[in-house]
Amino acid sequence: MEILRLIDTSPNVRKLTLSIGDMKIDLERDAADTQERPARVQAAAPPVAAPPPALAKGQVTAVSDKEAAPAPDGTIPVRSPIAGIFYLAPAPGEPPFVEVGSEVTEDTVVGIIEVMKVMNNIRAGARGVVTGFGAANEDLVQFDQALLYIDPNGQADPS
């Protein structure tokens, strides 16, 4: 933001190129923008309440702890450590990491959360059997949202 302020307050600067590692920023001002213009005073419009944004398909709204569904009795929720897109499988068309009835250990990967094109493995964090899910594949999940539930006393069907 300091760079933008410098360019805005320096009428003689028309172009700036900044390279840091793999990142490159090119800023260029139109020739007409380099000439000084008289300041205009404009009355501010009164604030208007904006309508709530529409939710995209698969988007989940953030809920408070009071609104969040409680974990089923005796289960441990696996909570999202970050907000992002939740994936149940390592890639499209591949089987999910876990399903209801899957036995898991603390280190079992149970899903992936994508944040800014970075895939983050989500581990169970507890031993037991998966009893249900709090998020579906490709849902936008919020920080601390329950992704799935583990019964620490459960055992998978022997069949």
The pTM for the full model equals 0.55
Query: For residue 140, what pLDDT band results from cuts at 50, 70 and 90?
Result: very high
Least confident segment among 29-33, 74-78, 92-96, 124-128: 29-33
Task: Determine phi and psi for 8, rounding to 5 degrees.
Answer: -65, -35
Mean pLDDT calculated for residue range 93-98: 96
Alpha carbons 113 and 82: distance in angstroms, whole number? 8
Please give the Cα distance from 125 to 81 (Å, whole number): 12
Domains and CATH numbers, the chain: 2-30 (no CATH), 76-151 (2.40.50.100)
> What is the distance between the alpha carbons of residues 128 and 78, in angstroms, rounded to a whole number?
12
Q: Give the residue-averaged pLDDT of 62-90.
A: 77
